[in-house]
Amino acid sequence: MEELPVADRLVAVRARIADAAARANRDPDDVLLIAVSKGMPAACVDEALAAGVEDIGENRIQEAADKQREVRNAARWHLIGHLQTNKAGRAAAIFDFVHSVDSRRIAEALSAHRPAGRDPIGVLLEVDLTGLPTRSGVAEADVEALVAELVNVPAIHVMGLMTIAPFTADPQDARATFRRLRHIRDHMEHATGWALPELSMGMSNDFEIAIEEGATMVRIGRAIFGERVA
């Protein structure tokens, strides 16, 4: 069966976002759609941008750098994959947002290498709520202390929290994870007065549940671009 064009897939995804927001009595414009182009060619990114997408997510720094040289249209670039400290300098130069900060060392490396004249890089703390040894992210018990360390680090702006729910056949299984991240954020805002407006959670298989539970950023790849080619 022939794959649908990216523009048609985006129409369907936006409709699903709007329906999920309506179920939660939310404005769909409060949910930022990040099109995750991991493994897809630059031409697909340009298709998405031409169809109105403004934010592109990538898992790998080199892949993002290569695409940025080829993509014809302007975009905001989000790093959503794990970031090692020794690669933070390059990430600071090419991304507008990093969703996977899980230590002070990484945040300070981003800060130290952010090019002069650029806006502070938007960062989200990745929180691991699964307990799985293969997952990265700061533990729930350590989130508040890490935010306290980072709120005054120059050249970065701590915007909120990110998590990845365990993948299961039933998207409803992700609800508890997303709800827990929202509760962590809400408690921290109430207890400390820090503004943490962004909740980055939800991917192609579970983004509707994430929106119902308060996601402000959803990271969608397969539902927009189809199966990866690399």
pTM of the model: 0.95
Of 128, 127, 129, 92, nearest to 107 (Cα)?
92
What tokens does 8 get? 């048609």
Rounded Cα distance between 216 and 23, Å, is 15
Task: Compute the radius of gyration of the chain from its Cα atoms.
Answer: 17
Work out the average pLDDT over 138-167: 94
| pLDDT given at position 169 | 86
| pLDDT given at position 191 | 84
Residues 156-174 have pLDDT tens digits of 999 999 999 988 889 899 9
Of 97, 78, 91, 76, nearest to 38 (Cα)?
78
Work out the average pLDDT over 97-125: 96
Residues 113-133 have pLDDT tens digits of 999 999 999 999 999 998 777
Work out the average pLDDT over 187-215: 94
| pLDDT given at position 130 | 83
Q: Are 228 and 40 in contact (CB under 8 A)?
A: yes
Mean pLDDT of the chain: 94
| pLDDT given at position 167 | 84
Determine what percent of the chain is predicted with pLDDT higher than 90.
87
The ranges assigned to domains in the chain are: 6-225
Work out the average pLDDT over 89-110: 96
| pLDDT given at position 4 | 85
| pLDDT given at position 96 | 98
| pLDDT given at position 17 | 98
Give CA 167 to chain center in angstroms.
Answer: 17
Q: Is the dihedral of CA 41, 10, 19, 122 positive or negative?
A: positive
The topology (CATH level 3) of 6-225 is TIM Barrel (3.20.20)
Q: Is the pLDDT of residue 1 over 50?
A: no
| pLDDT given at position 105 | 96
